[in-house]
Amino acid sequence: MSETTPLQLAGKHVLLGLSGGIACYKSAELIRLLTKAGATVQVVMTAAAEQFITAVTLQALSGRAVVTSQWDAREPNNMAHINLGREADVMLIAPASADFIAKLAQGRADELLSLTALARPLDRCPLLVAPAMNREMWAHPATQRNVATLRADGALILGPDAGDQACGEVGDGRMLEAADLLEEVIAFFQPKLLAGRKLLITAGPTFEPIDPVRGITNLSSGKMGFAIARAAREAGAEVTLVAGPVHLPTPRGVRRIDVRTALQMHEAVLPLATQHEIFVATAAVADWRPATLNEHKIKKDGKKTSPTFELTENPDILAAVAALPDKPFCVGFAAESQDLLKHAREKLLRKKVPLIVGNLGPATFGRDDNALLLVDEQGQRELPHSDKLSLARELVQEIARRLAKP
Ligand code: C5P
């Protein structure tokens, strides 16, 4: 997240439970990230977790005394298991061992952490679970049965990841990295305005090769499109992101298809378009490409004559999707250098789409902030200057509102 992004968890109180597992070391980093994002974190540890990391470390990182025993007499009413769940906005178990998941599934309560999970008000303190275990333990039918039970009871299961395991084996069962868990906790608090919807989005520039080493491209960084992909996923949508050449991390839970040229983007988008209910064309697609591709690098010939290129027009991906009989709800972007409203309105008609989002290209390309102008048949609305993730969430709200209309 960028420096301009507001604290994503300001005012949130996270009850972080650690059960026993080598992934406990990742929870130390997670506490740092959660607190940096504005949350307060109360740590509860099982005796097994204390074998892997000390309460001293976690107290120092969270700035709060860690609770490890239901018999801890510091609580005036001596009911830590009740108080902890009443104060929290969410309970996150990370790492959740196979044994602890089994306990949660059975509703056992023989130590403080499971007791607290059982005693928490279900409607006010939801449960997030980040499993961490050996791949055989994860794949075991007993664990899978227990995880299914937790899901049915309303818990959200985060991960696990696949990859190298501490035991030397490779497979499913690694706990998500701290940064991934942070993204999931932030997503969890976003309203699910697009739950069950499928959204397709293009982002970034395209690169139109002249020869094997050179090409025509533009200054689009892809940040706005990636922020919209993230915001849509946070809102519960199933998101497919078709990205031009950019070096941005894929937002969690988003399916990404990488392309280079406008033709490749067109080829990737068109067959997918009708499988989605929403299409957002954020990409700064090159309007033209060199008509021919030189097989080898064009060399200076020593005669001071510059090469000339014939250009040919690229297909308009947005207009092509908007012309499909079974088209999704289409949102176009207009990156202009002046007369935003005029150009946006003109694009609305030319591309035959219900919504155009205008922004000033030179003022936003590569930056972490932006300002948007939403233009539709009814009128226009300004989304004032802000960080791109906040703007993306507002745009998602606008799209959800339009889809909700009968
Ligand atoms: O045609 P123009 O570039 O002015 O329109 C911009 C909008 O159209 C953006 O939403 C962009 O993603 C989309 N577009 C496209 N295919 C092109 C050119 C633009 O999808 N070849």
Mean pLDDT of 39-50: 98
- Domains delineated in the chain: 13-188 (3.40.50.1950), 198-298+307-404 (3.40.50.10300)
How far is the CA of 40 from the CAs of 4, 315, 364, 387, in angstroms? 21, 51, 33, 23
Q: What pLDDT was estimated at residue 367?
A: 87
CA 202 to ligand 1: nearest atom: 12
Mean pLDDT of 369-383: 94
Pocket test for ligand 1, best of 288, 316, 355, 374 (most atoms within 8 A of CB): 316
Which three-class secondary structure string do you get for the chain?
CCCCCCCCCCCCEEEEEECCCCCHHHHHHHHHHHHHCCCEEEEEECCCHHHCCCHHHHHHHHCCCCECCCCCCCCCCCCHHHHHHHHCCEEEEEEECHHHHHHHHHCCCCCHHHHHHHHCCCCCCCEEEEECCCHHHHHCHHHHHHHHHHHHCCCEECCCEEEECCCCCEEEEECCCHHHHHHHHHHHCCCCCCCCCEEEEEECECCEECCCCCEECCCCCCHHHHHHHHHHHHCCCEEEEEECCCCCCCCCCCEEEECCCHHHHHHHHHHHHCCCCEEEECCECCCEEECCCCCCCCCCCCCCCCCCCCEEECCCHHHHHHCCCCCCEEEEEEEECCCHHHHHHHHHHHHCCCEEEEEEHHHHCCCCEEEEEEECCCCEEEEEEEEHHHHHHHHHHHHHHHHHCC
| The pair of three-digit structure tokens given for residue 214, joined into one six-digit string | 């050179």
Mean pLDDT of 288-292: 95
Tell me the pLDDT tens digit for each residue of 339-353.
999 999 999 999 999
Distance 333 CA to ligand 1 centre (A): 7
Yes or no: say if 29 and 178 are a contact pair by the CB < 8 Å rule. Answer: yes
What distance in Å separates the CA atoms of residue 325 and residue 339, rounded to the nearest whole number?
A: 32
Tell me the pLDDT tens digit for each residue of 303-346.
777 888 899 999 999 999 999 999 999 999 998 888 999 999 99
Cis peptide before 325 (omega within 30 of 0): no
Distance 324 CA to ligand 1 centre (A): 16
Distance 257 CA to ligand 1 centre (A): 18
Nearest CA to ligand 1 atom 4: 334
Nearest CA to ligand 1 atom 21: 316
pLDDT at residue 405 is higher than 90: no
CA 287 to ligand 1: nearest atom: 21
Distance 164 CA to ligand 1 centre (A): 42
Q: What pLDDT was estimated at residue 351?
A: 93
Instruction: For residue 110, give the amino acid letter.
Output: D
- More confident of the two residues 391 and 364: 391
Confidence bin at 1 (pLDDT 50/70/90)? low
**Rounded to the nearest 5°, which phi and psi values hold at 96?**
-105, 110
Distance 319 CA to ligand 1 centre (A): 8
Ligand 1 — pocket residues by CB below 6 A?
A: 202, 262, 281, 283, 285, 314, 316-318, 332-334, 347
Active-site residue numbers? 167
CA 262 to ligand 1: nearest atom: 21
Nearest CA to ligand 1 atom 17: 316
What distance in Å separates the CA atoms of residue 268 and residue 271, rounded to the nearest whole number?
A: 7
Strand 198-203, strand 208-209: pairing: unpaired
Nearest CA to ligand 1 atom 5: 334
Tell me the pLDDT tens digit for each residue of 263-289.
999 999 999 999 999 999 999 999 999
| The pair of three-digit structure tokens given for residue 393, joined into one six-digit string | 């969430």
Yes or no: say if 91 and 117 are a contact pair by the CB < 8 Å rule. Answer: yes
Give the number of other Cβ atoms within 10 Å of residue 43's Cβ: 24
CA 335 to ligand 1: nearest atom: 6
What distance in Å separates the CA atoms of residue 99 and residue 97, rounded to the nearest whole number?
A: 5
Tell me the pLDDT tens digit for each residue of 217-267.
998 999 999 999 999 999 999 999 999 999 999 999 999 999 999 999 999
| The pair of three-digit structure tokens given for residue 117, joined into one six-digit string | 């999970």
Distance 332 CA to ligand 1 centre (A): 7
